[in-house]
Structure 1
Amino acid sequence: MKEEKKKIQNNFIVAAGLLALFILYTVAIMFVDVQPIGPQGSSVGFAEVNQYFHTLFGVNMLLYSITDWLSIAVLFIMFGFAMVGLVQLIKRKSLFRVDSSILVLGGFYVLVFLAYLFFEFFVVNYRPVLIEGVLEASYPSSTTMLMMCIMPTAIMQFHHLISSKRLRNIVNAFCGIYASFMVIGRVLSGVHWFTDIVGGILLSATLVMLYYSTNQLVNSKASRSSQRSR
């Protein structure tokens, strides 16, 4: 029991460390090597690094459109888990009887959405290209964040929801390939600065680790409560 508690504490420490790293990284982007290399004279941190990768990969609007449309699939995954929770709520007639992992996942989705909204208003970087003539916020890459938040947590959920090991492995492999394609596609499309992609990955790692730690904590408390009631 003590080992489990220590492990959970360490998980939260890792999540806090990732958050600190993301904050420091974001602050660095705002102040280190800031130059007006973006469209309409927009300034970008780590300018030399970002300019190097932008020149290396160029801009591929077809790949941008493909990854943009494919990202919609993530919304169906989120909707699917929401439906799982709703069905459990209807059958069990109590919110507290819905699987704790589904409830934690719902809270996680809200947190991801709030993070997205925050960086829509608190603009760190603008895109290296205009999208339909508009200069849009680019940091962190929202598509990267969505992929790296939703797909890993979906894999964790499938571990409990899919009983067939073979089917579970196939589904999880597809999720991994899908997420990898989307992130790599976003890098190669050139619609984000390289540091925007890295920022999206860092923020996602923070949020996913927080989700995992919270899930472990809730499960641990439920297990101890079940043992006491016997």
Structure 2
Amino acid sequence: MSVSSVPRRLRRLNKTQKLSVAGISAVAAAALSLSLVPGNAEAETEPQAISSEPVVFASAAGAPQAKTIQASVIEQHSTAEQLIKASDAAKAKKAAAVKEKAEAVSKAKAKKAAAKRDTQAASRSESRTPVFSNNLDGWIKESLSIMKAKGIPGTYDGLHRNIIRESSGNPNALNDWDVNAVNGVPSIGLLQIIKPTFDAYHVGGTPHSQYDPVANITASANYAADKYGSIDNVNSAY
């Protein structure tokens, strides 16, 4: 039989369906064969008269051989289905494992990239942090940056002018002769501030020491802003 003579519906059958059709065909063929050949048939040398009685075919279900073939075909069909299901399950499991591995790799790469970005950001932030020199110019500039962040008014010129008048730029300057010194609270540091005033106007983020240049400048500028509007308005002892 040529391929073109096979009905299109049969050509579209899948493997399991084809197996079922083959099994059914085999059962039918076996049943027909068994029904046409009697069990006690013997070879005859002479032609037999054809009976006028209608031919009755034996039922396939009633023949033991047909039942055996049918059971075998059903078993093969069931086994084929099980194999197909097992194959599909194995493929699905493999695909899930591949997907899980890909997701794990992707997460690891994302985590590594995030860590790299954090490191780079920290490096950029550190590089932008200004470095002030450890001298009068650096102390004033660092104090101005803190004052700006805290909203304390004042300029470089106003700070520098008052520092030179009060201590000549010496952060360890100590007045031990005026009325404050007599009262036990001598004026100390660049802007000659006494301890009660320093404590009251100390700026957070700076050392709590009158001898620290930046802490002394910012506390004094904070006090001057409160009393005079700005350190720029101070031109004598304050």
Report the TM-score range of the alignment, normalised by the length of the smaller protein: under 0.3
Q: Greater helix share, 1 or 2?
A: 1
TM-score w.r.t. length of structure 2: 0.20
Q: Looking at both structures, which has the greater relative contact order when contacts are Cα pairs under 8 Å and sequence separation is at least 6? A: 1
TM-score w.r.t. length of structure 1: 0.21
